[in-house]
């Protein structure tokens, strides 16, 4: 694979506007169970991390979308769009009306890749607040498209191992060396942190013990690396905990840097 270099033209206003339009279309299509819209705009490698801890591939996601949504009045809130090379990242909160008429809230990170003259969604990670039990944590999906080659797989697997280790050990130096300037993290409480805030958080001792990654799925699309995985850990009260995360890496100037992360904890 060739190494990308930062192309400032990719960050034109037109790209931001296109991604904002795609984001609105995504939310409207989800509420309307519009399978046709998703079939047109999801890349073959698409995977979705769901609020219950499950991971769905493109086919599984389309199957779920085809069923009527029990939620109504879905609307994005405080949406932020970033473009890093050929990666488009949409971080947003959202609100909706539950079947019982109560208001619900959540947050998501959708990631798009630019190729062949268009943006396609390659990853979605969405969560509800409060987070529901991770009852679907063992439901996973095999990679059917975008499988990483041996060299990229080994590099990204090593970076993933160090990422988890560095969270455990509050290793700010490792993150400072491996996070892109544009990095943002979707936190389990529904907030989003920029690079500086994330590093400040990592510098504090972790409240979790025995943090480890499981069911790691690694994909590569052009110069974009996608990692979906489960987490297992021990909570401060000694009870077992589970969650899921999606990390997005971008290869430029001969190395991989993390540009986005989203974490769910049950």
User: What is the rounded distance in angstroms from the CA atom of residue 47 to the CA atom of residue 87?
Assistant: 16
CATH number of 150-265: 3.10.450.50
Model pLDDT, residue 192:
95
Model pLDDT, residue 244:
94
Model pLDDT, residue 151:
95
Is residue 213 within 8 Å of 197, Cβ to Cβ? no
8-129 and 150-265 share one fold: yes
Average pLDDT per consecutive 10 residues, the chain (266 residues; last block may be shorter): 41 86 97 97 96 93 94 94 95 95 96 95 94 77 83 97 97 98 94 96 93 95 96 93 95 96 90
Model pLDDT, residue 182:
95
Task: Give the CATH class of 8-129.
Answer: alpha beta
Where are the chain's structural domains?
A: 8-129, 150-265
Model pLDDT, residue 147:
83
Peptide bond into 256 cis (omega under 30): no
Name the pTM for this structure.
0.91
Q: Could you tell me which residues are beta bridge partners of residue 262? A: 186, 246
Model pLDDT, residue 236:
92
Is residue 94 within 8 Å of 74, Cβ to Cβ? yes
C-alpha pair distances (Å), 163 with each of 139, 145, 157, 179: 24, 24, 10, 10
Give the dihedral sign, CA 146/58/131/53: negative
């Amino acid at each position: 694979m060739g190494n990308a270099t930062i192309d400032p033209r990719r960050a034109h206003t037109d790209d931001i506007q296109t991604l904002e339009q795609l984001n609105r279309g995504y939310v409207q299509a989800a509420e309307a169970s519009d399978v046709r819209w998703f079939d047109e705009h999801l890349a073959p490698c698409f995977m979705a991390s769901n609020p219950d801890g499950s991971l769905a591939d493109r086919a599984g996601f389309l199957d779920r979308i085809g069923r009527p949504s029990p939620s109504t009045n879905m609307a994005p809130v405080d949406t932020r769009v970033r473009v890093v090379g050929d990666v488009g990242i949409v971080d947003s909160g959202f609100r909706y009306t539950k079947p019982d008429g109560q208001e619900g809230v959540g947050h998501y990170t959708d990631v798009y890749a630019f190729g062949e003259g268009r943006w396609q969604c390659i990853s979605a990670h969405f969560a509800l607040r409060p987070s529901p039990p991770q009852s679907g944590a063992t439901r996973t999906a095999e990679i059917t498209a975008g499988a990483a080659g041996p060299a990229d797989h080994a590099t990204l697997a090593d970076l993933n191992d160090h990422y988890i280790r560095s969270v455990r050990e509050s290793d700010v130096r490792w993150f400072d060396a491996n996070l892109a300037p544009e990095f943002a993290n979707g936190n389990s409480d529904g907030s989003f942190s920029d690079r500086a805030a994330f590093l400040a958080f990592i510098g504090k001792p972790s409240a979790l013990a025995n943090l480890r990654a499981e069911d790691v799925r690694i994909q590569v699309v052009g110069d974009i690396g996608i990692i979906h995985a489960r987490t297992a850990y021990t909570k401060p009260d000694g009870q077992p905990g589970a969650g899921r995360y999606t990390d997005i890496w971008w290869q430029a100037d001969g190395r991989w840097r993390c540009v986005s992360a989203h974490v769910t904890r049950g």
